[in-house]
Amino acid sequence: MTRRDLREQAHAGALPRRGGGFGRMLADVVLWVAALGGVLCMLLVVLALTAQITLIMFSTGSMSPTIPAGSVAAVQRVPASEVRVGDVVTVDRPGELPVTHRVTSVAAGAGADDRVITMRGDANAADDPFPYPVSSVRRVLFAVPGVASVIVALGDPVVLGGITLAASALVVWAFWPRPARGSRATDAAGEAVPRKADDT
């Protein structure tokens, strides 16, 4: 092997290589999870603006066992004319919390697009005390049990601040330059080959 070959090998070995190990793998996994979380948040914003799909949390068990307390549901706003018996819908009530129950009857309302509906929670023995005149409702698309407490915890300013600081530190650590390894080549005698102009 000529000195020129050794110099070329040394030049190739001087390129920085990413360190391996469990720490690097863990950092990559966390970064991917954070990236996916960001994509999910952006997707939810797009759905909220274009398809009127939002999330609601269930703090009571009136819809158990179909939707137990602590669940989070995706809901979509639809015209009252699309409501059918058996749908689970959220009705907004001025000055009160919204109610999410199953529709038990649908009747004509004051206008052509209005309806008067009665509802009942799956865990309740009777319909709600009063019917609801509505022009639109939020229909439940699907629900995920047990995640409401996680979302509430993530909304805490202290938790958000800690996550932000941890993510920032992780990004800095993951992309901090590592020292090059194997930047000097050795000759057959085991001595370092000095870098000089290429032989011709």
pLDDT greater at residue 200 or residue 12: 12
- Residue 101, phi then psi, degrees to nearest 5: -140, 180
Q: Is residue 43 part of a domain?
A: no
Nearest to 53 by CA among 151, 146, 148, 139: 139
Q: Is residue 132 part of a domain?
A: yes
Q: What local confidence, expressed as pLDDT, does residue 34 receive?
A: 67
DSSP state of 30: H
- Global confidence as pTM: 0.59
User: Tokens at residue 118, please?
Assistant: 């009665």
Average pLDDT (158-176) is 68
Q: Is residue 62 part of a domain?
A: yes
Q: How confident is the model at residue 193 (pLDDT cuts 50, 70, 90)?
A: very low
Q: Is residue 174 part of a domain?
A: no
Q: What local confidence, expressed as pLDDT, does residue 25 receive?
A: 75
Q: How confident is the model at residue 189 (pLDDT cuts 50, 70, 90)?
A: very low
Average pLDDT (152-168) is 66
Nearest to 71 by CA among 82, 84, 83, 61: 61
Q: Is residue 165 part of a domain?
A: no
CATH code at 59? Answer: 2.10.109.10
The enclosing H or E element of 138 equals strand 136-144
pLDDT greater at residue 15 or residue 4: 4
Q: Which domain holds residue 141?
A: 52-145
Q: What is the pLDDT of residues 107-156, one digit of tens each?
A: 999 899 999 999 999 999 999 999 999 999 999 999 999 887 776 666 66
Q: What is the pLDDT of residues 38-74, one digit of tens each?
A: 677 677 677 667 767 888 999 899 999 999 999 999 9
Q: How confident is the model at residue 10 (pLDDT cuts 50, 70, 90)?
A: low
Chain-centroid distance, C-alpha 46: 13
For 32, residues 6+ apart whose C-beta sits below 8 A from its C-beta are none
Q: What is the pLDDT of residues 81-116, one digit of tens each?
A: 999 999 999 999 888 989 999 999 999 998 999 999
**Class of residue 132 by CB neighbours under 10 A (exposed 0-12, middle 13-18, buried 19+):** buried
**Which of 3-12, 56-65, 162-171 shows the lowest per-residue confidence on average (mean pLDDT)?**
3-12
Region for 70 from its dihedrals, namely left if φ exceeds 0, alpha if ψ lies in -120 to 50, beta otherwise = left
Domain count, the chain: 1
Q: Is residue 69 part of a domain?
A: yes
